[in-house]
Structure 1
Amino acid sequence: MTPTYPRTAEAAGPEQASRHVVEVPFEGDGAGIGALNWGQQHILGAIRNLGSPMNMCAIRELDPTASVQDFAEELRFYLNRFQAMRTLLRFSPDAPPVQEVFAAGQALIQIVDVPPGGDAAAVAAELVSEHEELSFDDENELPIRMLLVRRDGVLTHLVTVLNHFATDGAGAFAMYDDYTKRDPATGEVPYPVQNHPLDLTAHQNSPSGRKQSDASLRYWRRELMTLPKRGENGRGEREAVERAGARYRRVSLRSVPMMMGATRIAHRLECDVSAVLLALFSTALVRITGDRLAAAQMLVSNRFRPGMADIVGNVSQTGLFVVDVADATIDEVVERAQRAVTRTYKYAYFDLTEWQELLAEVERERGEPLSLCYYNDRPSQRSGTAPGTEPSVAEVKAAASVETPATWMELPFFNERLMVTIDIVDGVGDAVPLLVYADTWFVAPEEMEGLARLMESLAVEAGCDPGVRTGV
């Protein structure tokens, strides 16, 4: 079988634009069939649980001299060099899915012609909206789409779409970085690809891979069994309570006082803001639940592991974060949280099937379901040092005197009971973009906003006074 794009894809898209395709042959090494590695299993499960393709899309504005051949060569480069870009999945009803890497085949570049006088940028934006939700046919369609927008015979934009199963954002940047570093004469990159997804599968099935997984699962068991049961703090397991309005919601605060207070704490402790925000979240969560231990799942990128920094593939898995916030100052919780999150990262690399079996086993032994929330920290400032200038106490208090507005959004679906996201993606900035997502049948809207505002008030109090305690 030769992988390619489905021909039906040619007809999709903005109705005012016409389309045709250019065929791009490719050829690479490392063809074969194998099981999915742990990161692939994780992302495939996430895509299915969310009911969303999670496609990654990017628009590139083009120089007027750009040619179709330029991008045919770029697409061929990605396919030839990266096995993940020429991989299809194979599903069967009685066995786990497997991946097949092809040695050769054909891909298609779509060319979208904008009518005279049309808005090429708007057409490119429409293509992104279309392809963000247009699922890949994992068994028949290669995991990369390239679409060129053309107006009056001149190429204006490139839209690239990646199947999130094939790689994450860091892998996408690694692909493009290799493309920019190729030799201008030979078109070759002066260094080999260190690892491909099938290489990870092989390593994870080796004795050293099994040893790592076993150690991670022992950590998960140990930490989960230390968590208090619902009845031990006077609270029973939460039952679903139907509430008026949308069941799934998000509240967001763009908090200047939280950033200023957290920055003061970071300067005081010589750490980054990320560590402080984790401690504030942990303390606020415990104040709301009544437990002494804060526990949450985190998405951990395993790119810090040897040979995985630049892999084109998915290497993120779920980590378990547990920290005791009782009988401590906020400053002490920051230090505890930093030690705890190191363990979280160390043990977020494991056999997914065995992990799922472990969770079920722990629930049976505890006699109750596990209901861990999710903490999703996406700041780029993880340098280990405090950012910028340290604000004064007066500046923190002045910022706190103005109430931070809360913005609500209704969601069509959300697959967790509670998730807190710190959405700093373009540097540190002057405010903390804090997003709280929840299934309001389990976490009431007032609790969602209360958690966010408690994190903010703790940041202000502890930023101004190093002796502020958790109150737990």
Structure 2
Amino acid sequence: MPDTYLPAPADTTGIRATTRIPVRFSGDGAGTGPLSWGQREIWLTMVRQRSWLPIGGWAALPAATTVEDVAADLRWAMRRYPTFRTRLRFDADGVPLQTVAAWGTIGLDVFDVPAGADPEAYTAAVDAHYRALDYDFVAEWPVRMGVVRVAGAPAYLSTVTCHLVTDGVGGRLMLREVAARSETVPTTGLQPLEQARWQASPAGEKQREKALRHWDRMLRQLPPPAPLTERPGPRHHRGEFHSAALYTATHAVSVVFDVDTSQVLMTFLAIALTDLAGDGRPAVIRPMVDNRFRRGLGDVVAMVAQHGICVTDVAGLPFDEAMRRTGIAAMLAYKWAYHDPAAVATLSETLDVDLEAGIWFNDRRTLSRQMFPGDKPTAEQVRAAAPGEFRWTVAQDDPFDPLNIDVDDEPGLFRLTWFTDTWRTPPARVEALARAVEALAVHEALLALETRNP
């Protein structure tokens, strides 16, 4: 594959780099091979969603940062992280392979804020520009980086990467290492080419078969493919639910029962899903699992997160028993989330079940994931916490996951971002589910505070 150095692209938004600086790099781990399981799963998601799933963002640069400083950071990152040097190649059947380059040149864009423009708004526009541009998986490096200068001085940096590069946890690891790169030890984690080789080994095949047996048991409890109800307008919607009440109640239940906060949230979801469905089937939750607890993946900057499958029957159970069962099901989901997604897809077709049943659950919290800040809420604080506000923010024809919830921290509340295929789950039903989860959480928190821990 050639040493790719593409000129800065033009578009119709008025966002165009003043210049593009060539940054030469080299690094270890070059080669070509199959995608790893994590890469394969995100690739299937990209194909389904017709998107290269750009991730990243923009931030202010430290004072006195030079363009040369940013170029040095980019060169260092390209050398250190093989995923930054990874592009795709397709075989005769259209199957993607990953190819890691030993050397190359990447462009660092430099933008100048026009006179009279708001610098932060302009930087946000640069970031949006990077995300909106089509991405060539074969020819382009999977990193787009731009320095934004204000009055000639570097002030902001936008970095956007293809999701094949890494997941969210890997992105945070990378940012931490770049900030402290003079102290960074050599990489020790298995890079994607090494992961793919292990997955093809006898040990990897053993993991694949064990995981597939778990998925077989779970898939047999899923319904057949669901009929779709066509609706006018864009098919896929995204909405946000900001709730202090759910945040406070989850905090209280987690402390009173001494249970992991994600398990508490998944239990609320399982009960609400069961109650709203009313068909007697177990609740299906597809948690996003960070597989870095596995040997060799702890500190790797790569796409290793995968969706697990949690099937739990909580109909009519007392809350503490529902939480216990959900915890067991979740533990198994996390254990066997390290799987071959192509094999699972084939199995679901063989069984003729709806692999898109249930709800995808991505708990992305960093502040309250392990432990909420502050003391255990009182019953008065649970009652006083403001109920959530729901608003729909995006409607589009390109698909999201069929029904997905991302959970993020905000000061004193949760931000739940909901994605839905309205032909499967209409917006009113999604909003009803969000409010049912909140109401259940408040009810169980008050009950727990008043009866278990007076």
Settle same-fold status: TM greater than 0.5: yes
| 1:232-251 per-position Cα deviation (integer Å, ceiling 9, x unaligned) | xxxxx753333455543344
Pairs within 5 Å for 1:18-417 = 19-63=18-62, 65-116=64-115, 118-183=117-182, 189-227=184-222, 229=223, 238-244=226-232, 246-290=234-278, 291-363=280-352, 371-380=357-366, 385=371, 387-399=373-385, 404-413=388-397, 415=399
Q: State the SS of the aligned residue for 2:108.
A: strand
Q: Is the 8 A contact 1:53 1:164 kept in 2?
A: yes
Q: Aligned in 2, Cα 1:111/1:261: closer, same or farther, shift over 3 Å?
A: closer
Return the alpha-carbon distance in structure 1 between the equivalents of residues 206 and 80 of structure 2. Answer: 31
Amino acid aligned to 1:432: F
The CA deviation at 1:270 is 1.1
Return the alpha-carbon distance in structure 2 between the equivalents of residues 370 and 129 of structure 1. Answer: 30
Return the alpha-carbon distance in structure 2 between the equivalents of residues 369 and 65 of structure 1. Answer: 52
Return the alpha-carbon distance in structure 2 between the equivalents of residues 424 and 78 of structure 1. Answer: 27
Stretch moving more, 27-36 or 209-218: 27-36
Return the alpha-carbon distance in structure 2 between the equivalents of residues 404 and 160 of structure 1. Answer: 32
Return the alpha-carbon distance in structure 2 between the equivalents of residues 221 and 299 of structure 1. Answer: 19
The CA deviation at 1:293 is 1.5
How many pairs were matched up?
449
| 1:350-407 per-position Cα deviation (integer Å, ceiling 9, x unaligned) | 12221211111121xx6x77633323332235665565323333443344xx764432
Q: Aligned in 2, Cα 1:177/1:376: closer, same or farther, shift over 3 Å?
A: closer
Q: Is the 8 A contact 2:243 2:413 kept in 1?
A: yes
Return the alpha-carbon distance in structure 2 between the equivalents of residues 263 and 215 of structure 1. Answer: 35
Counterpart for residue 448 of structure 1? 430
The CA deviation at 1:345 is 0.7
User: Which runs of 5 or more residues in structure 2 are unaligned?
Assistant: none
Return the alpha-carbon distance in structure 2 between the equivalents of residues 435 and 72 of structure 1. Answer: 35
Structure whose CA Rg is larger? 1
Q: Is the 8 A contact 1:3 1:142 kept in 2?
A: no
The CA deviation at 1:283 is 0.4
Amino acid aligned to 2:45: A
Normalising to structure 2: TM-score of the pair? 0.89
Q: State the SS of the aligned residue for 2:109.
A: strand
Amino acid aligned to 1:256: A
Q: State the SS of the aligned residue for 1:11.
A: coil
Q: Aligned in 2, Cα 1:293/1:16: closer, same or farther, shift over 3 Å?
A: closer
Q: State the SS of the aligned residue for 2:365.
A: coil
Q: Aligned in 2, Cα 1:147/1:192: closer, same or farther, shift over 3 Å?
A: same
Q: Aligned in 2, Cα 1:181/1:379: closer, same or farther, shift over 3 Å?
A: closer
Q: Aligned in 2, Cα 1:263/1:25: closer, same or farther, shift over 3 Å?
A: closer
Q: State the SS of the aligned residue for 2:198.
A: helix
**Once the two structures are aligned, what percentage of the paired residues are identical?**
31
Return the alpha-carbon distance in structure 2 between the equivalents of residues 375 and 305 of structure 1. Answer: 21
| 1:425-472 per-position Cα deviation (integer Å, ceiling 9, x unaligned) | 35xx4333334432233323332222122212211222222499xxxx
Stretch moving more, 348-357 or 63-72: 63-72
| 1:21-45 per-position Cα deviation (integer Å, ceiling 9, x unaligned) | 2222112222211111111111111
